[in-house]
Structures are given as C-alpha cells and as structure tokens.
Amino acid sequence: MKNFKKLLIWQKGFQIAISSFKLVSSFPKEEKYGISSQITRAAVSIVSNIAEGSSRNSTKDYKRFLEMSLGSAYELETQLMIAQAVNFGNKEEKELLLKDIVEEQKMLIGFMRKIEQDSKANFQGSNI
C-alpha cells in the first residue's frame, strides 16, 4: 500500500476540494442541490479516487482510479466554467481554482505515464 498523502497529486486534489467547498458557500442558496452539489462531489471524487487507487496492487487498477480522478477533474472544470458563465461565486476564486484544476490534470496525466513506464520497465527487467 502506498502512502497517498505524500503524493503531490493527492495534496493538490485535497486543496482543490477545500477551495471548491469554500467557493460554493457563496453560491445562491437555491443552488445547494444543483451545481453546488455537482462541484463539491466532483472535487471530492478527484482526491478520493487517488486515495482509493493507491490501495490497489496492480498498475492497471491503480491507473484506472487515476483515470477516474482525471475525469472528475475535467467534470469539475466544466462545472466551474458554467458557474462562471452565470456569474455564481467570486470571479478571482474561480479563476484560481480553474488554474489549479488544469495543473492537477497535467500532474495526473504525467503521473499515469510514469507509473505505466515504471510498470513496463519492471516487466521487461523480470525473468518471466
């Protein structure tokens, strides 16, 4: 089992989740079960899938959870763009959060490539 809390992708995802909760607290109350809920669920999903994937023994399973995390990051980015279009929340907070999400997406893609390369190198180096 890997210590997911040491991963930079998990740490950034955790901060994204916290920032998302803070941002939606300023949304209209009637959006509590609408886009606010969608945003917080997607943000929590990013960091949760990284954590859950770290418990997997195979690279294939681990990568699948990282892919779900990446999908949630894209989902969150889209939801924030919608919030931006309808003027929900603080503009500067949304822009900073969107920047962090794009950075997280790049980090996830890079991490998935690295674990796949490491897996191939380990397989090629084995005596199977």
**pLDDT band for position 117 (50/70/90)?**
confident
12-31 confidence digits (pLDDT tens): 999 999 999 999 999 999 98
What are the DSSP calls for 67-94, one per residue?
A: HHHHHHHHHHHHHHHHHHHTT-S-HHHH
- Predicted confidence at residue 6, as pLDDT, reads 95
99 falls within a domain: yes
Q: Is residue 59 part of a domain?
A: yes
**What is the model's pTM?**
0.90
Give pLDDT, residue 123. Answer: 53
Is 41 contained in some domain? yes
pLDDT given at position 128: 45
Residue 19 lies in a domain: no
Mean pLDDT of the chain: 92
The dihedral sign for the CA sequence 91, 96, 101, 106: positive
104: CATH: 1.20.1440.60
* Number of helices and strands in the chain (H, E): 4, 0
**98/78 Cα distance (integer angstroms):** 9
* Domains in the chain, number: 1
The answer as to whether 124 is a domain residue is no
